Amino acid sequence: MMVAYLVMAAMIALSFFCLYRLVLKRLGALEGQERRAFDRIRRQEIAEEQEAGRLTASESTQLLQDVDHESTRLELNKKRTFYLGAPLAQRVMLVVVSAVILGSVNLYQYMGYAKEVRFTEDLQAQRLTPQKISDFLQYRSRRYGGAEDWYYEATDNVSAGRYKDAVLAFEKALEILSRDADGRVNLLVEYAQAIFYANGNQSSSKMKGVVDSILEQNPTEATTLGLKGVAEFDQKNYLGAVLAWQEAIRYNANSSERLALLSAIAKAREAGKINYQQVAPIITHQLAVKIEWDKKALHWQKNDVLLVYALAKGQKMPVAIQRVFPEDLEQPILLTNLDELMPTATLAEVDKVDLIVKLSNINDSDLTKGRIIGIKSGLVTNHKEIFVINVAL
């Protein structure tokens, strides 16, 4: 690339040099014409002076010799320089300008600026498609080769279901990212998930190696504990699967994921004939809640967050609480004995609770100061029913 820059710079310099010399030649030609005209006029004046008798023949001859000598001296004093004729100079300039323009465009394309400009224009005009985004992310990762570039390509591949490509992109990102970099564990978690998906939602020795590496650094990483349970289940170590999944539930407050883990634990218990005396359940009491609302009257805002909590009679602090975003409201919300706000009473220690839904702004320093938009009183804890609460502003 640098050689191309130097070649184009040299061509531009050469073209200006040729133009400069052509201008000098034109100026020299004009000067020569003026000098020859002066010589003619001077010779004519000497002849007229001689005819009028004001100059003798010898004087006239001497003056003419002086004029010849002056003309010869000026010609000899002229520097011999390189000149181009006007037609040739025009052709040279045309070739140079064309080469520079084409070279500049090629360099512009090669360096990728055109792609970045088009991507920015499409983004501003809202013309981006998933394919355009994927193409641009692939260009970025190969053009710049940064860990973030490969990470974005990997997550894009995961979103598009290209899991094998995602695994390769995650590996590129991990090669570049330093061992002690912030976020490396999170990157390893997504890498392990991609390996799992790429293997048809089955565990593998490769995935297990990554899982073990993550848990060495962060033993409470919930997603990784879930994958560890999958690996144990596939190896028919049902006890290990139950223990891993129960730990995943302990450190994962997401209701839908907890429900899936509870279902998986039930299958592992059944397959391994593991009763509650062998392994006590980590969730002993729970309350499932479904929030409903009038979609014509209530529209969630991007900063909305809901606090869903159970309040026992006579207590000010919730015995169980969950923070939920509007996009998660399609699934039931699971309040359990693990979701106490303070290490006092839990859902396992009360028979009935009042269920309260409070709307807050995620940017508020204290979410508990939001508005109550739904209440249901006297609900029996550890009931199999999914309780429905209608909320309204």
Same domain for 27 and 102, yes or no, is yes
8 found inside a domain: yes
- The CA-CA-CA angle for residues 210, 212, 217, to 5°, reads 100
Q: In terms of C-beta density within 10 A (0-12 exposed, 13-18 middle, 19 or more buried), how is residue 51 classed?
A: exposed
Same domain for 226 and 330, yes or no, is no
What is the number of structural domains in the chain? Answer: 3
Domain encompassing residue 306: 286-391
Domain boundary among 110, 142, 170: 110
Same domain for 238 and 268, yes or no, is yes
Residue range 112-117: average pLDDT? 63
% pLDDT > 70, the chain: 75
pLDDT beyond 70 at 10: no
Q: What is the mean pLDDT of the chain?
A: 83
pLDDT beyond 80 at 270: yes
Q: Which residues pair with residue 375 across a beta bridge?
A: 356
Tokens 């109550």 found at = 372
Three-state secondary-structure class, residue 167: helix
Contact (CB, 8 A) for 227 and 303: no
The CATH code of the domain that includes 171 is: 1.25.40.10
Same domain for 187 and 99, yes or no, is no
User: Is the four-CA dihedral 25, 30, 36, 39 of positive or negative sign?
Assistant: negative
CA distances for 301 relative to 50, 263, 339, angstroms: 109, 33, 26
Same domain for 316 and 204, yes or no, is no
Average the pLDDT over each of 110-119, 229-238, 338-347 and give the range with the smallest value. 110-119
Quote the tokens at residue 41: 């006029």
Nearest CA to 290 out of 207, 200, 371, 390 is that of: 390
Average the pLDDT over each of 36-50, 74-88, 185-199, 279-293 and give the range with the smallest value. 74-88
Same domain for 235 and 353, yes or no, is no
The CATH code of the domain that includes 319 is: 2.60.40
Q: Which residues pair with residue 297 across a beta bridge?
A: none
Higher pLDDT, 78 or 326: 326
- Cα 316 to the center of its chain, rounded Å: 46
- Round to whole Å and give the CA distance between 383 and 362: 31
Q: What is the pLDDT of residue 188?
A: 97
- Round to whole Å and give the CA distance between 218 and 285: 28
Average the pLDDT over each of 49-63, 169-183, 196-210 and give the range with the smallest value. 49-63
Same domain for 96 and 161, yes or no, is no
Long-range contacts of 237-240 (CB under 8 A, 24+ apart): 238/268, 238/269, 238/271, 238/272, 238/274, 239/272, 239/274, 239/278, 239/279
Q: What is the pLDDT of residue 99?
A: 62
Same domain for 177 and 240, yes or no, is yes
Q: Encode pLDDT of 29-80 as tens digits.
A: 555 566 666 667 767 777 776 777 777 777 777 767 776 766 666 555 554 4
Same domain for 195 and 246, yes or no, is yes
Q: What is the pLDDT of residue 391?
A: 92
Same domain for 75 and 184, yes or no, is no
Higher pLDDT, 135 or 162: 162
Average the pLDDT over each of 20-29, 45-54, 242-251 and give the range with the smallest value. 20-29
Neighbours of 27 (CB within 10 A): 10
Q: What is the pLDDT of residue 17?
A: 65
Q: Encode pLDDT of 127-138 as tens digits.
A: 878 888 888 888
% pLDDT > 90, the chain: 49
Residue range 325-348: average pLDDT? 87
Global pTM value: 0.69
Average the pLDDT over each of 14-18, 201-205, 357-361 and give the range with the smallest value. 14-18
117 found inside a domain: no
pLDDT beyond 50 at 299: yes
Domain boundary among 272, 297, 320: 272
Same domain for 184 and 268, yes or no, is yes
- Round to whole Å and give the CA distance between 37 and 43: 10
Quote the tokens at residue 53: 């008798």
The most confident of 16-20, 53-57, 244-248, 284-288, by mean pLDDT:
244-248
Domain boundary among 64, 83, 110: 110
Q: What is the pLDDT of residue 95?
A: 66
